[in-house]
Structure formats: C-alpha cells, structure tokens
Structure 1
Amino acid sequence: MSVLAFAGSNSSASINYQLVTYTVSMIENHNIRRFDMSGKPFPMYSMDRERDDGIPGEVTGFLDEIRNAAALIIAVNEHNRNFSAYFKNLIDWLSRADRNFLAGKQVFLMSTSTGQGAGRNSLSLALKTLPRFGATITATFSLPSFGQHFSPAEGGITDAELRAAHRKALDTFLEELS
C-alpha cells in the first residue's frame, strides 16, 4: 500500500516534519513516499491568478502525489491558533484543482508544537476541514512540548506514555489500511 507523508509546514526546521519522519520510520510493508514541503514554494492563491494562469504545475504535481497514494500521514503545524498560511494556501489550491482531492484517502493526522498546546487548535481545525474534501481521518495524535518530549538522539518520542499513545494511533491507522 502506498502512503504519502508530509507536514503542513514549509520550514526547513519543521518539528512537524520531524514527527512525520519518525512516524514513517516505524512503518513496514508499505510503500512510503515522504514529501519535504520546505522545497515546495506554492504561489499564494488568488482568483485572479487562477483565472489568468490556471492551476500551477507545482499544485497539479502534488495533487498527482495525493492521487497516487492510498493513504496519507499529515502533521499540521500551528500559527496563532490556526493552520499555517502555507498549509491553508495548499488546501485552497488543491481544492480548486479538485474539490474532492482527498476522496477515498485514509489519513493519520498529527500535530506538535514547542508548547503544551501541541498544535491541538490546528489539529482540531484539520479534523473539521479535511473531511470536507473527502478524507477519512482514521487516527490522530498530538505531541506537546516537542523539545521536551522528542529527541532524535534518543530515538524519537522520549516520554513513555506519549510514545505508547503515538504507537497506538499509528497501529489504528495501519489496521485501517489492511
């Protein structure tokens, strides 16, 4: 089964992308395609641009990646209690190219942040938004205080309870793919 994994952040130091990378390292027997969004500068959506230039090639290329995947792992970052402008812009473009761009896709939705909130506002918003485009959210996980609870040198999530909760959510997602 093919799984596309990415973070809703275009930062080269994205902690959400680090969470994605950790998560996919635990998956076996599936074809994983990790997509680093830091190298994907999508133009800012506007009706004028769409009318004058159509859907940009970068967007249609990413839409093809989504269409070729059976499932998605997405970690959404949070800016000011909302999606990042980057992720919202991506959703705007994708939904203009295909209103049901997530139809038939099972999604493991995650978030993390440097604070105790763990990006839960953005996660909650994604839980409401992504199904409108056809997604089925099969599991969720949020990791609070990333710097305190995650260490690449120590193998990822360092808190035993959070590590177990992440594993349980990942297993739920993978069971739904079977």
Structure 2
Amino acid sequence: MTNLKLVTISGSLRKGSYNRMLLAEAVEAFGPADVTEADIDLPLYNGDVEAASGVPAAVQTLAQQIKDADAVVISAPEYNKGISGVLKNALDWISRVEGAAFKDKPTVVLSAAAGRTGGETAQFMTLSCLTQLQARLMPGTSILIAAAMNAFDDTGKLKDEMSRKLLATRMQALRAEVA
C-alpha cells in the first residue's frame, strides 16, 4: 500500500516557529504519510519579472508538490492582525502557475500566534485566499493556538490536551477524506 502524500506549508520562515511546531504535531496526528515541507522562501511577486522571466522554478516546484499531494495542511501565523507576507506571496505566486494547483485539493488551515486569538484573523484571511484558489477547505473546529510561546514544551509538543485532541480529530478527518 502506498502512503498518502501530504504537503505542509508554514507561513513562517523561521525554523523554530510555533507554526512549524504545530505542523509537526499535525503530521504526527495525520499518521503515516510521505510528507513534503513546502519551501515558500520565494522572491516577491512582480508581474514585470513574471512577464520577463516567467514563473520562477521554485514556484513551479511548489505548485507541482501541491498538485501531486493528496492533501495540504497550512499553518498561518498572524502578523499585525493579518496573514504573513511570505504566505500571501506564496499563494499569489501559486495562482500564476497553469493548472490551478489547489483546485479541489483537500486543505486544512491551522494557526499558532502569540496573541489571545491564536491567529484567528490570519486564518480567516488564509481561508479567503484559498477559496479564490478553489481549494477544498475541510470543515471542522478551528485550530487556533493562542499564546503560542507558552503552548509548546521544550520538545515542540503541544502542552494542552484539548488542543491535541482537536488537532487529532481534524487530521483524522482529513486522512479519512483522502484515504
């Protein structure tokens, strides 16, 4: 039996980000899979650059990884009450690739943020962008990890049992959808 293919996208480039920790927890809860961690450290979208040079190879690779995946999990940090610039930039670039990478792709969005709402505004904005990209957004309880700097232990594991259970429920529903 072939493993399911899962792509994870962290809206934070920082290696030790709480959103990367949250994605690691999501991958564990999803279960056995071939996991690709997307690289969204991309040049800023510029229509003139696209017209002169085309879509960068890194963007084409990212779009192909999404197309080839069975499902996508995105963790969206909140910066100044909005979506992170790198995540929005990646989604803008992906929209420029032929073939609608996200079209009908089962997708879950999670958030971890320092604030009290756990990234709720960024998650809402990310979901809005993904709707335009025609992703198949999986319904379920929002995973919003507030005060993220206190939410993970020294090994990167979520401390709160209820958050772990909610995340496991979301990931098992995603797995059931694509299995």
Q: TM-score, normalised by structure 2?
A: 0.88
| C-alpha contact 1:102 1:134 (8 A) present in aligned 2 | yes
Determine the structure 1 residue equivalent to 2:30. Answer: 27
| C-alpha contact 1:114 1:146 (8 A) present in aligned 2 | yes
RMSD: 1.7
| C-alpha contact 2:29 2:172 (8 A) present in aligned 1 | no
Tell me how many residue pairs correspond in the alignment. Answer: 174
Determine the structure 2 residue equivalent to 1:165. Answer: 166
Cα displacement string for residues 43-102 of structure 1 (whole angstroms, at most 9, x for unaligned residues): 111111111111111111111111111110110111111111111111111101137220
| C-alpha contact 2:78 2:113 (8 A) present in aligned 1 | yes
Q: What amino acid maps onto 1:169 in structure 2?
A: R
RCO comparison, higher one (Cα < 8 Å, 6+): 2
Q: What amino acid maps onto 2:17 in structure 1?
A: S
| C-alpha contact 1:103 1:135 (8 A) present in aligned 2 | yes
Percent identity (aligned)? 22
CA–CA distance in structure 2, aligned partners of residues 44 and 99 of structure 1:
21
CA–CA distance in structure 1, aligned partners of residues 130 and 69 of structure 2:
16
CA–CA distance in structure 1, aligned partners of residues 71 and 164 of structure 2:
22
Determine the structure 1 residue equivalent to 2:152. Answer: 150
Cα displacement string for residues 110-155 of structure 1 (whole angstroms, at most 9, x for unaligned residues): 00012212111010111222021121111441111112222143x6
Q: TM-score, normalised by structure 1?
A: 0.89
CA–CA distance in structure 1, aligned partners of residues 65 and 99 of structure 2:
16
Gaps of 5+ in 1: none
Counterpart of 2:82 in 1: which secondary structure? coil
| C-alpha contact 2:71 2:174 (8 A) present in aligned 1 | no
Gaps of 5+ in 2: none
CA–CA distance in structure 2, aligned partners of residues 124 and 27 of structure 1:
23
